[in-house]
Amino acid sequence: MDIFDTDKSRAFLPRYRAYLEEEVYPLEEQLLKLPLEDLEDAIQPLRKAAKQRGLWNPHLDQWHGGPDFSLVEFAQVSELLGTSPVGHYSCNCQAPDIGNMELLMHHASNDLQSQFLKPLTYGEARSCFGMTEPEHAGSNPVHMSTLATLEEDHYVINGHKWFTTAADGAAFVIVMAITEPEDANPYQRASMLVVPTDTEGYQRVRNIPIMGEAGGGYFSHSEIRFDNCRVPAANLIGTRGAGFTLAQKRLGPGRIHHCMRWVGICERAFTLMCQRASSRDLAPGVKLGSRQTIQNWIAESRAEINAARYSVLHAAYKIDRMGAKAAKEDISTIKFFVADILQKVLDRAIQTHGAMGITDDTLLAFWYRHERGARIYDGPDEVHKNVLARSILKEYGLNIRTHE
């Protein structure tokens, strides 16, 4: 028996597949022709349908209104939803909200949960997460300048963030800021604070153009500033100096979510590539798919997508049973491995479509613009490869210091 095949997956996966085929796919072409700033509102009927079908909040436990999936079960749902650019948002399990919900559920006070978590779970609000700073390399997360200074019962925040996904229209941001600048351990200097976006001193500077597209609403990445931005000390998530510890707890499941979404994108791109190869005439009676190069791309893509899927499901299985710490090598591995396959499959699918592949007449150009960053965000591929190699070599007696 397939260890990833459970009673819940057998019950729910056909329901999510039917939802996509009946509700989502038929509207994609219409939705993606809208200006991105209008897309979010246009998706609301799909979100309503997801609620009616009992498919809302697939990442949550029963206490918070979800189906209480294991990580392996949710990973398979995430792959299905990843086959559409609006799949995850339609079911309210999109990043960064999904990670923020998990942070608030497990580490925030009851008051913070009531004020900020409930609107997220109901789909009444969106959030964002502010960590990356333009002045510092994102590959070294402890190197940041945003400060949160405690003044009596408030934190005063000053700093500059960018690539804050979905900040446009978000009700609040969870920001990583230095609260313990004197701590000898750089990993114990930062904390996480909830900042409502209507707080005086918070400014969303711009939506950053990605390959020429600034986007809007949920489909955007913003530059934001904090200028003497005051929030109650009670807006602290967890304890002072625990920001990186919380970020690591958020990271393991979050990596599974992302990677399975990428696998879903690969599956959809693979389908488009095969359809194009089977239908496009090179000459009367000669199909594109008759060419060996195209056949090689199809064979390689099929093998790589399968390998990616089972690598991620294995990591999820390990996290479910042993915790994220025991699976840290697997978590690093899938990040660079699946991101690389995503780029390869998308590029082959675009090339198979020829000039049409770089237009918005298919989903491929949309995904290429939005997902090329997969090899950069959450730590660039090169960092994860170094981490994995050092961990492996340590088992052979070579202990490489990080500054070498």
User: Quick one: pLDDT at residue 116?
Assistant: 98
Instruction: In whole angstroms, give the CA distance from residue 334 to residue 347.
Output: 19
**Residue 274 parent element (H or E):** helix 243-279
Q: Tell me the one-letter amino acid at 355.
A: A
Helix (H), strand (E) at residue 10: helix 7-19
Q: Which of 203, 237, 271 is the last residue of a domain?
A: 237
Whether 404 is covered by a domain: the verdict is: no
**Mean pLDDT computed over 228-245:** 97
Domain final residue, candidates 217, 237, 257? 237
Region 189-206: mean pLDDT is 98
Q: Is residue 2 part of a domain?
A: no
pLDDT band at 1 (very low <50, low <70, confident <90, very high): very low
**137 lies in the same domain as 115:** no
pLDDT grade for 403, boundaries at 50, 70 and 90: low
SS3 285: coil
User: Is 142 in the same domain as 116?
Assistant: no
Domain check: are 276 and 192 in the same one? no
Mark whether 253 and 339 lie in a shared domain. yes
Which CATH number goes with the domain that contains 41? 1.10.540.10
CATH number for the domain harbouring residue 340: 1.20.140.10
Domain interval for residue 351: 244-394
Is the residue at 278 inside a domain? yes
Q: Are residues 227 and 195 in the same domain?
A: yes
Torsion angle in degrees (nearest 10) through CA of 298, 304, 310, 314: -170
CB-based contact 378:248 (threshold 8 Å)? no
State the CATH number of the domain containing residue 196: 2.40.110.10
Do 388 and 248 fall within a single domain? yes
For the residues of 182-242, what is the DSSP string, one character each?
A: T-SSGGGSEEEEEEETTSTTEEEEEEPPBTTB--BTTB-EEEEEEEEEEEEGGGEESSTT-
Residue 368: is its pLDDT beyond 60? yes
Q: What does pLDDT average to over the chain?
A: 94
User: Once rounded to an integer, what is the mean pLDDT over residues 342-358?
Assistant: 98
66 and 206 housed in the same domain: no
- 399 is a domain residue: no
Is residue 81, in this structure, part of any structural domain at all?
A: yes
Residues 117 and 213 in one domain: no
Give the mean model confidence (pLDDT) for residues 92-96: 96
Kindly state whether residues 229 and 317 are assigned to the same domain.
no
pLDDT(272) > 90: yes
Collect all residues with Cβ–Cβ distance below 8 Å to 362 and sequence separation of at least 6: 272, 353, 356
**Is residue 342 included in any domain, yes or no?**
yes
Write down the pLDDT at residue 404: 47
Tell me which of 401 and 189 has the higher pLDDT: 189
Are 114 and 209 found together in one domain? no
Is the residue at 402 inside a domain? no
What's 284's DSSP letter? T
Shared-domain flag, residues 231 and 248 = no
Residue 248 has pLDDT above 90, yes or no: no
Q: Please give the pLDDT value at position 184.
A: 93
Neighbours of 8 (CB within 10 A): 16
The sign of the dihedral angle between the CA atoms of 205, 209, 214, 218 is negative
Task: Using the 3D structure, point to which of 198, 220, 237 is the last residue of a domain.
Answer: 237
Residue 402, pLDDT score: 62
What 3-state class would DSSP assign to 134? coil
Alpha-carbon gap, residue 367 to 347, rounded angstroms = 10
Amino acid at 340: D
User: Do 251 and 212 share a structural domain?
Assistant: no
Whether pLDDT at 390 is above 90? yes
Residues 58-82 have a mean pLDDT of 95
Domain for residue 400, yes or no?
no
Query: How many domains does the structure of the chain reveal?
Result: 3
Coil, strand, or helix at residue 144? coil
Which amino acid is located at 369 in the chain?
R
Sort 151 into a burial class: Cβ within 10 Å, 0-12 / 13-18 / 19+: exposed
